[in-house]
Amino acid sequence: MRRGASVVLIVIVVAGLGGVVAVIRDRAGPVAPAEPAGVVDPGVAARRARDLAVGAPLLVTLVVGGAEVARAQVVGDRAEVAVGKLTGALEGNRLSALGTSVEVAAFNPVALLAPLVERSPRWEGAHLRLDGEPPAQAWLDPDGRLVSLEVELGSGGRMVVAPAP
């Protein structure tokens, strides 16, 4: 019975990550026209950061109340998922954990990084504020690569997408 509950928990978290991505995509507002060429245009910077991150391994973390509750390391259509001490592997749309395999929504790096290109970005200090709901912001390194994309999920929760170490 405990094994079945553990698999259900991992499935819920993976489905939740997919749901978060769907909500982010649905709530994103229209993209504002790009500003005239000048210093580093925030729209160009955001698109470049997304393009560089799409093909790279990503680390997706769900944080609630300041504590990490779930983590997935995504490489292409494969992800290693951890919820507490439970772990599983997602390949395409098959999640395997504790000797059981179930069908779930596949991770999509393009969808995870969608706020970078589907929202109106603006520089706010040293990071990009990505206008829209839910609130999001991104930090880039001096070469324009993504350091961290944070999307607020409400009730003290947030999703953080960063390059995998």
Return the domain boundaries, the chain: 2-163
Q: What is the CATH number assigned to the segment(s) 2-163?
A: 2.50.20
The reported pLDDT for the residue numbered 10 is: 53
The reported pLDDT for the residue numbered 80 is: 94
Interatomic CA distance for residues 58 and 164, integer angstroms = 5
Could you read off the pLDDT of 109-155 as tens digits, one per residue?
899 999 999 999 999 988 999 999 899 999 999 999 999 999 999 88
**SS3 state at 113:** coil
**SS3 state at 141:** coil
- In this structure, is the dihedral angle defined by the CA atoms of residues 72, 107, 119 and 41, taken in order, positive or negative? positive
Could you read off the pLDDT of 9-58 as tens digits, one per residue?
454 555 555 544 444 444 444 333 333 333 489 999 999 999 999 989 99
- Return the HEC string of 93-106: CEEEECCEEEECCC
State the DSSP code for 84. T
